[in-house]
Structure 1
């Protein structure tokens, strides 16, 4: 059922610079109301909206509680918040008030409204908190709550005047809750309508899948999301997918392959990155140099070091530690000391890893006196 959610929607026309978003013909059916207030009672929607808008902050909450002690339905809450959507902080306070006083049994429809309102105001942290809370809401059928929430977010998108990254927040929240299959499926449904998540969302998805399911699975997700990995050129990538991988995408892939000892795959990802016109940064070089050092190819690692300097990339502590470690393992402690001195002259502070690499290097060449000097320096600096 979830995979069919977006197929019933069209795309809203936007200017070329704006992302495409779902279009839905909105009616009150998006927020079904099963109860109506008795005729002798004040209309909660207009009354509460007026109180929250015009009353002073100290009296508004007590007035609402006095007039509506039995609270509100999720539909009424949604309609009130829609009237207040240009004041998102007030909407959030109203939500917290209904929670604290148990005035509304919130369901996914009321959650979707406030999530949209907080997203359009770029209150992303708060929106993600409510997304996670909504996902934990017990469902009424066998469909996972994150799919049902996604459906409601699509249906109420335009009525709430939301922002496209609300779906990125949903994907990231699912990732944080370890709902990997749901995250992947939501991304697929978005991309089936050529609505591309942000590249940082795609990178987070790839990293989490690689961490939990292995680097090879993460690479499969990468190929699916970006439409690459089968020898496509840079122009092909632009045509296949609206979102393009960046250097952080490739750094994540290389790091995952490196941690699993798949050093040949690290080099393959590097070549793919270059073929697609993505410029590596110092961290990219650090991972590839670490792969070379792991294979004992210290000369190749030093060539990369020189190439990085020629391109104007300043080595960071990760790069220094990587090459120093490779040199120490290869018994080239003099060259390692030279890099250590260069690092200090450049104002880069050594870490515990730096000292451990040097101590191991001196021990490897049986220079225990120098190893003890490094150890004492390490202790003096409170490592």
Structure 2
């Protein structure tokens, strides 16, 4: 105990000379009389040889003033074969405020965790390092972390994917520009992140900045040059793009409704000997369906099946939805039956397409059958689907059935009806001279925040005329006119 007290007195009264951030290698050969060197060896000895319950209090009593960042990094470096202990030491000094941690200390512990494949903890510390960086510029913060990781990489015996963790940490915090710049700097050093990391970068760019920018980034980070005279794309990157790379770009073009560029990317994927997967085909089919190019969509479908790629629910829904949109219900039903035979369960979207498709072609009975089947299978119809059924029924004079659909949607599914649904029902009731019921429905309509429209006024005026109540019809005409004048003034 006397020796420990003596050491504590020595280190509390002696000014320690901090190690240089890059002096790890040479420090081991320095004189053992160096206070910092003695501190380092003592701490390492306590951490590795004492029991876990006593070591922390012991260290705190020995060094109540804590450690210089350079000393911490040297201590941690000597614990690199015990990454869990190194991380505990870091967290302990952080919790007890025993070290003013900077980019050097963060880089050291991150490298140690990375070389031990503790990716989750390493990436979490990278995110913290970016946040606590002294740089004011948000773009510069990740670049300073990158610079620090590069300087300490060899000395810590780190693993290359530590830079993948840095790029992913940037993307998690939506720092896209620094992520792109880091990849550029890595490639300038002959290093390329893993294809999965590059795909994440392209996906984020595609999502936030569109297909055109993501395509430009793809060509740069994968080293795809302009095609030569023979039409061969030169690739100078050691990492090849895969199907997920192209899917991310295609998704960007799909969001931008750039069908030609999406198709171009699909063909480029084939040019790179990447085999399209079901997501690739579904994106291309969706783009064609959105433009009503169902013949092109069907060609893609047949090519997909010829390549023995199994269609999923997304593919089926795209084809069924596209066919329903143009009124080809027989073909849509064929896809629906095939889907069931192949063991692919329909979704709420599947039934919505079919219901709206049948309503669109005026086949109300088929629409009702599909709608009831949808409800029986516990799929919750949305307001658009219910509105389609209600309006189709009202057009065919089946108002009572339409009222049941509205009531069922509200009571069973908590549905908030659309204003169009109320307008169709009020019009149908007035045509049957059921104006009192129409008034009650109109009160409900106003209670849900829908103001009477010109269609509603017109329906009531027509209804009262049918009943021979010209006085009420005239009052409504005046009210409708006053409402129009007020709206114009607003």
* Both structures adopt the same fold (TM-score exceeding 0.5): yes
Q: Distance in 2 between matches of 1:318 and 1:52?
A: 56
1:229-378 to 2 correspondences below 5 Å:
230-231=226-227, 236-238=233-235, 240-378=236-374
Q: Indicate the larger mover: 73-82 or 106-115.
A: 73-82
Q: Distance in 1 between matches of 2:34 and 2:62?
A: 15
How many equivalent residue pairs?
353
Q: Distance in 1 between matches of 2:320 and 2:157?
A: 54
Contact 1:331 1:361 in 2 (8 A): yes
State the match for 1:99 in structure 2.
Answer: 94
Shift of 1:260: 0.8
Q: Is 2:150 the partner of 1:163?
A: no
The partner residue of 2:65 within 54, 67, 70 is 70
Q: Distance in 2 between matches of 1:350 and 1:38?
A: 77
Q: Is 2:174 the partner of 1:182?
A: no
3-state DSSP class of the match of 2:327?
A: coil
Q: Output one character per residue of 1:199-244: Cα deviation in whole Å (capped at 9) or x when no partner.
A: 1111111121222222211111111112226336897544x21111
Q: Distance in 1 between matches of 2:315 and 2:271?
A: 23
Shift of 1:66: 2.1
Q: 1:259 to 1:100 in 2, by over 3 A?
A: same
Contact 2:133 2:144 in 1 (8 A): no
Contact 1:234 1:275 in 2 (8 A): no
Q: 1:51 to 1:304 in 2, by over 3 A?
A: same
Q: Is 2:194 the partner of 1:202?
A: no
Q: 1:31 to 1:75 in 2, by over 3 A?
A: farther
Q: Distance in 2 between matches of 1:337 and 1:102?
A: 68
Shift of 1:256: 0.8
Q: Output one character per residue of 1:169-224: Cα deviation in whole Å (capped at 9) or x when no partner.
A: 11111122222221111111111122111111111111212222222111111111
Shift of 1:111: 0.3
Q: Is 2:99 the partner of 1:88?
A: no
The partner residue of 1:152 within 144, 148, 151 is 148
Q: Indicate the larger mover: 89-98 or 40-49.
A: 40-49
Gaps of 5+ in 1: 1-26
Q: 1:340 to 1:140 in 2, by over 3 A?
A: closer
Q: Using CA pairs below 8 Å that are at least 6 residues apart, which structure has the higher relative contact order?
A: 1
Q: Distance in 1 between matches of 2:225 and 2:347?
A: 37
3-state DSSP class of the match of 1:175?
A: helix
Q: Distance in 2 between matches of 1:55 and 1:368?
A: 81
Q: Is 2:46 the partner of 1:30?
A: no
Shift of 1:42: 9.3
Q: Output one character per residue of 1:15-37: Cα deviation in whole Å (capped at 9) or x when no partner.
A: xxxxxxxxxxxx9542699xxx9
Contact 1:31 1:78 in 2 (8 A): no
Shift of 1:151: 1.1
Q: Output one character per residue of 1:108-162: Cα deviation in whole Å (capped at 9) or x when no partner.
A: 0000001111111111111111111001114168782211211111111111111
Q: 1:349 to 1:73 in 2, by over 3 A?
A: farther
Q: Indicate the structure with greater helix content.
A: 2
The partner residue of 2:117 within 115, 122, 132 is 122
Q: Distance in 2 between matches of 1:40 and 1:274?
A: 64
Q: Is 2:47 the partner of 1:52?
A: yes
Shift of 1:381: 3.0
Alignment RMSD (CA, Å):
2.5
Shift of 1:376: 2.8
Contact 1:237 1:244 in 2 (8 A): no
Q: Distance in 2 between matches of 1:68 and 1:242?
A: 49
Contact 1:135 1:146 in 2 (8 A): yes
Contact 1:226 1:237 in 2 (8 A): no
Q: Distance in 2 between matches of 1:335 and 1:328?
A: 9
Shift of 1:40: 8.1
Shift of 1:372: 2.7
State the match for 1:133 in structure 2.
Answer: 128
Q: Output one character per residue of 1:264-314: Cα deviation in whole Å (capped at 9) or x when no partner.
A: 111111111112221111111111111111121112211211221121111
